[in-house]
Amino acid sequence: MKKVYKACKICKRLTTEDVCPVHGDEKTREDWFGFLLINDVNSEIAKKAEISKNGLYAIKVRS
Ligand SMILES: [Zn+2]
């Protein structure tokens, strides 16, 4: 089975789960665009995106 990544609308974190691992009951959605891999939270890009945890993030999540 193919893994489908879904994004949380609040933190934009990508996960294969149906709910965000950070936001508990926030349902993740498949309607997102582009992604960002953060492996250094002190990098400029992480600061700009206000990301404080390493991981995979969507650039845009449609509501
Ligand atoms: Zn979240």
Cβ atoms 33, 59 nearer than 8 A: yes
Q: Tokens 């309607």 map to which residue? A: 31
CATH of domain 6-61: 2.20.28.90
Cβ atoms 57, 35 nearer than 8 A: yes
Q: How far is the CA of 52 from the centre of ligand 1 (A)?
A: 12
Kindly list the domain boundaries of the chain, sorted by start residue. 6-61
Q: How far is the CA of 24 from the centre of ligand 1 (A)?
A: 8
- Residue stretches of the chain with pLDDT short of 70: 1
Beta-carbon contacts of residue 28 (< 8 Å; ≥ 6 apart): 6, 7, 8, 15, 17, 18, 19, 20
| The pLDDT of residue 63 | 79
pTM of the model: 0.84
